Structure 1
Amino acid sequence: MKISFKYLVVSFFLLIFFQQTISSQNIQTIAIQKPTAVSVDRYGNIFVADVSGKIAYFDSTGKKIYEYSPSKIARVSLLESWRSVKTFVFYQDLQAFTLLNRFLVATAEQYRFSNAIGFARLATLANDDNLWVFDEADFSLKKYNPDNEQIILNVPLSLIVENKDYNFTFMREYQNLLFISDANSGILVFDNLGNYKKKIPVSGLKHFGFSGDELYFFKDDTLYFSHLYQTTERIIKLPKTEEKINFVLYLDRKIIIFTDKSLIINR
């Protein structure tokens, strides 16, 4: 059976049109206030803190499930929700942190760091339920036990990063590795004992994430993926948005974009 070239051309353009139509129908936009921190758990639920200090929990379909409103308004500097059963909330301005359960109910209003921490520039939850803290006072990375308020590990950073030329913006532990983004030089990688491993040379980042065995981050209009254990890389062009993109999350082929006014889910 012969199929004409004209038929193939028409079919090709119909296929392209169909794909574009499906793509446009799979974009969901939700109005939000300007976000200051975002996270996603392993089930695809979305967590976003806005400029008012509120934290919203959306399920993977974009439906708002819970909202946390603290009694004391403060800017949320970092969110970590990957483990689902708890969300870690860090307030740099208050030098404090909060733990929320899966219903976004605080186990206590706020915990303050002890005198063992000079000034916490960044803090995040470790896999062993302790905290990783970048202490700006003595330019060190510390593992902090919030129960007894003691330091477990203390790693001076002066031999790794020039302490006059740094801008640490985000940190997260993943697969027994700790990643810290320095906007001026790249992503620093440590093992779970605080030993420095390497630097990923990508500057200008304020956030990054993980999907499977890949680290991802966005710059300009592109989402970049780098394999943690191989040398493979890939990119995804982000869809156009009317507003500046502040954060991007990626999970199960779903791209979640945060602008000043919108949460945009691309399936």
Structure 2
Amino acid sequence: MTPLRRFFSLSLFFLLVESLFFSSAKGQDVAFELVHFFEIPAPHLVDWGSNRLLFVADSQANLKTFDIEGKEIQFLSSQSRILPTLLSAQNHIRPFLFYQEAQRYAFLNRQLTEIEDYPLSDFEAQNSGNLGLVRLLAPALDNGLWAIDESDFSLKKVYLDIKNLTVSTPLAPFLKGEALEVEQLQAYQNMVFLGLKSGRVLVFDNLGNFKKEIQAGRFSFFGEEMIFIESERNALIWQNLYTNAKKEIVFPAARKILFAFQSENDLILVGKQLVWIYSLQK
């Protein structure tokens, strides 16, 4: 029996009995019950779309979507084999990819066809300031884009269509001597979250003003909570963005979680080869 088949056999057993529990802020027990799991190609980047599809950019630079049952829905084959640096499916009508190596971004349509492909070298702001070498680029909550500019260590907001730059915030005062190793960039609820490799998340408002710092691993959002992975304990943590109240679930070391997302009724956990789907028991 191969290791993967053995893993599937063990997982099938746990599928019958496994539930996850944590206590809510109101003291009520909340349970997630494992309902099924499925295999995916080795994930490079993953995001959960607002259309309840899982977007997976694999290690071959292909992009696939899967429904909640694990059925492959769409497939985009990469021609360049350049791995994307950021994948965003918050707006499933216009999924977004950024390629740091190529210094370009692409918006896709629902069929994963590129509808907008823009090399950043073409951008020259009509007002003061420009973009240098962009480390990360992510959609803003309006028509703009948030950029991490390595050339001057800054957070910038740009409107590439009208060639306008509206925000430029120096990041050096908040790095505490660290290198600018940014792994995540996401706009959410009128805030911008910048995730550093060191496990610090810098939070700014939509005008680029620094608000606070959160200690967190790879994160996603649901409602008023940030959901993140604490890799050392293999724990999944929910932290309220406004009250800082926390709740958590610790997983066995054998089930290494790389990405985690929550929807209204589901908890989606992504490992190196498998996706586990839990259903919220109300």
- TM-score between the two structures when normalised by the length of structure 1: 0.83
Superposition pairs for residues 114-133 of structure 1, below 5 Å? 114=123, 116-133=130-147
Distance, in Å, in 2 between the alignment partners of 1:44 and 1:239 is 27
Cross-structure match for 1:64:
72
Q: 2:118 aligns with which of 102, 111, 121?
A: 111
For residue 44 of structure 1, report the CA deviation from its aligned partner.
Answer: 2.4
For residue 27 of structure 1, report the CA deviation from its aligned partner.
Answer: 4.2
- The worse-fitting range, judged by mean Cα deviation, of 31-40 and 46-55 is 31-40
Distance, in Å, in 2 between the alignment partners of 1:65 and 1:57 is 5
**Aligned positions, number:** 244
For residue 42 of structure 1, report the CA deviation from its aligned partner.
Answer: 2.6
Superposition pairs for residues 204-219 of structure 1, below 5 Å? 205=217, 207-219=218-230
Q: Considering only aligned residues, what root-mean-square deviation do their CA atoms show, in Å? A: 2.3
Aligned residues with identical type, % of pairs: 30
Distance, in Å, in 2 between the alignment partners of 1:259 and 1:171 is 21
- The worse-fitting range, judged by mean Cα deviation, of 186-195 and 67-76 is 67-76
What does the per-residue CA deviation read over 1:143-185, in whole Å, with 9 as the maximum and x for residues that have no partner? 1112133322111112222354442110110111101112325
- Kept in 1, the 8 Å contact 2:34–2:276? The answer is no
Cross-structure match for 1:225:
238
Cross-structure match for 2:104:
96
For residue 234 of structure 1, report the CA deviation from its aligned partner.
Answer: 0.5
Query: Structure 1: where are the runs of 5+ without partners?
Result: 1-18
- Kept in 2, the 8 Å contact 1:38–1:78? The answer is no
Residues 239 and 82 (structure 1), Cα distance of their counterparts in 2 relative to 1, 3 Å cut: farther
Q: 2:60 aligns with which of 39, 52, 57?
A: 52
Equivalent residue letter for 1:105? T
Query: Structure 2: where are the runs of 5+ without partners?
Result: 1-13, 20-32, 125-129
Cross-structure match for 2:6:
none
Q: 2:82 aligns with which of 53, 74, 77?
A: 74
Equivalent residue letter for 1:191? D
What does the per-residue CA deviation read over 1:199-221, in whole Å, with 9 as the maximum and x for residues that have no partner? 1134xx2x210011100101132
1:42 aligns with 2:37: no
Residues 258 and 153 (structure 1), Cα distance of their counterparts in 2 relative to 1, 3 Å cut: same
Larger of the two Rg values belongs to structure: 1
Distance, in Å, in 1 between the alignment partners of 2:91 and 2:63 is 17
What does the per-residue CA deviation read over 1:21-74, in whole Å, with 9 as the maximum and x for residues that have no partner? 354894433322221111112342211101111111112332211111232221
